[in-house]
Chains A and B, each alone.
Chain A
Amino acid sequence: MRTLQFNQLTPMAAALFAAVMALTACADNDEHAQPVEPETRDASPIGIAVHGGAGTMDRDAMSEEQEREYHEALQEALEAGHSILRDGGDSLDAVQAAVRVLEDSPLFNAGRGSVFTSDEHIEMDAAIMDGRDRNAGALTGVRTVRNPIDLARRIMDESPHVFFSGDGAQTFAEEHGLPMEAPEWFETEQRREALHQAREREAEQGSEFRSQRENVEFNLGTVGAVALDRHGNVAAGTSTGGMTNKRFGRIGDVPILGSGTYANNATGAFSATGHGEYIMRAVTLHDISAQMEYAGRSVEEAADHVVNTKLVEMGGNAGIIAIDRHGNITMPFNTSGMYRGSIDADGNVHTAIFRE
């Protein structure tokens, strides 16, 4: 875990943080500098968590420079969302802003930097969900929409439907004027190399490779965000390029509500990453939410049980991020690492990659 120091912030984030600290100080002065009671402080907590994928991660294989890049990208995403929450904005806008940052970063398997399908295209999936009314927007198989999370939001806001696939999603995006990019904008050499490696492995091991656990390492980097705003509303958003070398219009967990993305004001907001087939077969996030709502489990207990017991028993590699309606954040994973970060109700900023 990396607990953030000011000198580790990017300059822009540091400036914003300084501004917030100053505002907080002013607010305290208005309260006659009385110590803030925990109940008062927690009356309307805000918080955000993000992830950039879970999977097999080797600390020795990652340079310090690479590690720093990941921490910075996670911090930038957290700050993009948290600044909206601090200003009293909506959790939906916060998760959308955070996911957009991670989509634009070539480090992660979403938006720019998405993995390649077997026929060397990029096909992206995304979903967003509003905890207030559980309205949602989801899509699968878009190729040129710059920010799939923005398309998910437009589907939620402007369509009576929830989930669009392929040409239908692309047409909706064009009709609504979403920014597009040429295929080359999304493509990175690293992902093309991963496709070639995956093909070689599949040629050696046969089709079994596709369902094997280590396959997940070729799909690292699904991104997601969950947030709680001052109004007590939670939201979740997730975006991905899917599986390297995927065929047959395969859809993973990301756009499936209750599996890869879920939000409900009665419990919290959740986003998953990992081997999508297992995440779907466990309806992972709805299971966590239901355990909180009907079995009285805390977000930590429910998430830990589903990720570290149920999914492990099924053989599913995965990680999730969750924030409950009180602002408690938990980020369990059963892989060796998960790119993740959070800013909790007390304003503590953490980013981490490996198991702690």
Chain B
Amino acid sequence: MQTALICHGGAGDIAEDRLGACLDGVREAGREGHRLLEAGSSALDVVEAVVRMLEDNPQFNAGHGSALNEQGQVVTDASIMSGHDRRAGAVGAVSGIANPVSLARAVLEDGHHVLLVAEGAKAFAREQGFDFCDPASLVVAHERQRWEEAHGTVGCVALDQHGHLAAATSTGGVLGKRIGRIGDSPLIGSGNWADSEIAVSCTGQGEAIMRTALAHYAACRHDAFDRLDDLGRAAIFHLSDATGGQGGLIMVDHDGQVGFGQNTRHMPVFGIGVNGEVEGI
């Protein structure tokens, strides 16, 4: 059966001298994810693995390289969803976790709750045996220097050999964000969505994405479009029309088609689907 995958490294303005490295980052993670799918890995495992690679890449604003909030702390959000059974897990406002997407996966596997935040999420992580790192170690030099630089999130959606879809999204949030602010990344239906037809990961202005439940919006409109790029354009038009917001999204559907849409200047994207290799910046 056809496998497919697409991943992104956040929508926003990226400095010209970093564009190449960002594109390399999504290419490398996307190719590795595709190799895992072809080797028989589940979509859920692959979206987690790809997002971990992107979280570990200091070019992107998730895990390592996360944005500093107004107290100079690194606070991250992440979510993951399995399409065929619609299981989901998410964490918000957690610090000291190098790979928040894996903590979200642990919430999914635990199955009792969907969304855990802040100290509670840390307590859960401790119970699950997660290692904690010094939050300062997650802040890389260029992050400290670039307060003003835009939002960043990473995400991946995939279709595996069993025809199962999954989506994962992870972010360090908005630079200088207020303490306790939760964005769209950990919210099922906003920053992340997967069902048996389509999987979606969004990035951009979190408030606008939440108000339009953008990932679920794209899923609801899937039937109306033959091409996912057209669906992506429609979803971004909706985001802009309803809220004036900016952002982007990536999608993979049950047929193995991959696509994306954005109204930001940049969004590093790499995908492999039935429609071939897809790339964008």
Write the residues of chain A forming the contact surface with B, with a CB cutoff of 8 angstroms.
129, 133-136, 140-141, 159-169, 171-172, 207, 210-211, 246-252, 256-259, 262, 276-277, 280-283, 286-287, 290-291, 294, 314
Contacts and interface: CB of A to CB of B under 8 A. Distances in A.
B117 A166 contact: yes
B183 interface: yes
**Residues of B contacting A: mostly:** mixed
A258 B113 contact: no
Given A256-B187, A281-B188, A290 B217 contact: yes
Contact of A166 (B93, B113, B207, B220): B93
B87 interface: yes
Contacts of A141: 117-118
Given A251-B116, A281-B87, A283-B188, A294 B182 contact: no
Given A136-B210, A162-B210, A257-B213, A283 B189 contact: yes
Interface size class of B (residues with CB under 8 A): 35 or more
Interface in B163-207: 177-183, 187-190, 193, 206-207
Nearest to B111: A211
A282 B179 contact: no
A168 B180 contact: yes
Contacts of A247: 120, 123-124
Interface of B: 81, 86-88, 92-93, 111-121, 123-124, 177-183, 187-190, 193, 206-207, 210-213, 216-217, 220-221, 224, 242-243
A163 B183 contact: yes
Contacts of B124: 247-248
A168 B119 CA distance: 12
B188 A167 contact: no
Nearest to A286: B213
A161 B213 contact: no
Contact of B120 (A159, A248, A286): A248
Given A134-B242, A166-B117, A167-B180, 20 more contacts: A136-B211, A141-B117, A162-B207, A163-B182, A165-B181, A168-B179, A172-B180, A248-B124, A249-B123, A251-B116, A251-B117, A256-B115, A258-B189, A258-B190, A258-B216, A259-B188, A281-B88, A281-B114, A290-B217, A294-B220
